Amino acid sequence: MLEQISQSKVFGGWHKQYTHPSDVLNCTMRFAIYLPPDASDSHPVPVLYWLSGLTCSDENFMQKAGAFQKAAALGIAIVAPDTSPRGEGVPDDPQGEYDLGLGAGFYLNATQSPWNQHYHMYDYVVNELPSIIEKNFPVTSERSISGHSMGGHGALTIGIKNPEHYRAISAFSPICHPVACPWGQKALRAYLGDDQAQWQAYDTTELLREKACPVPILIDQGEMDPFLEEQLKPWDLLEVADHQQCELTYQSHPGYDHSYYFIQSFIESHLQFHAQHLLGQRS
C-alpha cells in the first residue's frame, strides 16, 4: 500500500513522495514522482524513469536537476526511485564505504549472501516499480529511462536488456564498463561473486559487444569529470558501439564535471530527446 509522505506544487504540476512495502526488495522503499499539470485519468502521460548515482536517494535529482519546468511543458511524468534497499536488517558495506551497500545498489539482482535477500534493484526498476506507478497514477505504459553515474549504468543496461519496455535511453556521466573499473569490480564481485561471466550481464560495453541496441541512446559527458578516466570509461563503450548498428549519440562537454550543475545544464535537451520518442515532440 502506498503512503504519501510529501507533496509540493511546482510549475503547475505536483512533486510527491511515497513509501511502500517492496516484495522484491523485502523492505520499505521510497520513490518520488513528478506529475505534469495535464496528467489526469482522462489524459494519462508517459513516464521517464530516472536512476541516481552512488550515495543518492530519490531526492537528489528531484531537488537539484531543474527538470520540472520542461517536464511540465512537455507533458512527461518523472519517477525517481531510491538507489538501494534500505532499513533495519538491510546489509551495508562492512567497511562503511560509500560504493557498496546502502545507496549503492548498482541496479542488479544480487546472488551472493548477504546481499541476495534485498539487493534486487534490477527487478524493482524493471517490473515492480512500473507496475505500482501504472496502477496508482495517471500514466501510460510508455516509458523511457535515464540516469547519472551509477544510475547511468543502470539506465543503459536496463534499457539495452529490455528494449520492448523503453522508447529511449539516456545517461549523464555513466559507468560504461564496470567490469573494468574499481567501482564496478568491487560491487559486481560482492553482489554476484567471482565468476566474471556473470558480471557481463550488467555491463553496457559487454552487452553491446554481444548485440546491437534497437533503442536510441543519448549520453552526455563532462570533460572535467574527475572520474572520467578511471571509473567511467566511455571510450570503451564507443569503440564497441562503432561496430554495432546502434543509434547512439555521445556528446562531450569541455569544462563540465560530475555534479548536478552539469545535469542542470543539459537536462532540458535530455527531456526533449525523450519527448521526441515518447510523444513525437520535436520542439
DSSP assignment of 92-121, as one string?
--TT--TTSBTTB-TTSB--STTGGGT-BH
| Cβ-contact 261, 148 below 8 angstroms | no
* DSSP assignment string, 24-46: TTTEEEEEEEEE-TT-BTTB-EE
Position 64 scores a pLDDT of: 98
Report the share of the chain in percent with pLDDT over 70.
Answer: 99
The pLDDT confidence band at residue 266, using thresholds 50, 70 and 90, is very high
Average pLDDT over residues 42-51: 98
Catalytic pick among 22, 149, 170, 173: 149
**99 assigned to active site:** no
Q: Is the dihedral of CA 188, 192, 195, 200 positive or negative?
A: negative
Which residues are paired to 9 by β-bridges? Answer: 14
The residue from 153, 258, 270, 277 that is catalytic is 258
Q: Is residue 252 among the annotated active site residues?
A: no
Residue type, 12: G
Q: What is the pLDDT of residues 103-151, one digit of tens each?
A: 999 999 999 999 999 999 999 999 999 999 999 999 999 999 999 999 9
Q: Output the CA–CA distances (angstroms, integers) from residue 73 to 10, 271, 283, in the order listed.
A: 12, 10, 11
- Determine the average pLDDT of the residues in 70-99: 97
| pLDDT for res 283 | 43
Q: Which residue has the cell 534497499?
A: 85
**Which residue reads 560495453 in cell numbers?**
205
Smallest CA-to-CA distance from 21 within 2, 49, 4, 44 is with: 2
Largest CA distance in the chain: 51
Q: Quick one: pLDDT at residue 11?
A: 98
Query: Which of 90, 97, 141 is closest to 116 using CA atoms?
Result: 90
**258 is annotated as an active-site residue:** yes
Taking the model in full, what pTM does it have?
A: 0.97
Average pLDDT score over residue span 31-36: 98
Q: Is pLDDT at 8 greater than 50 in this prediction?
A: yes
Catalytic residue among 82, 203, 220, 225: 225
Binning pLDDT at 50, 70 and 90, where does residue 245 land? confident
Distance CA 51, CA 39 (A): 22
pLDDT, averaged across the chain: 97
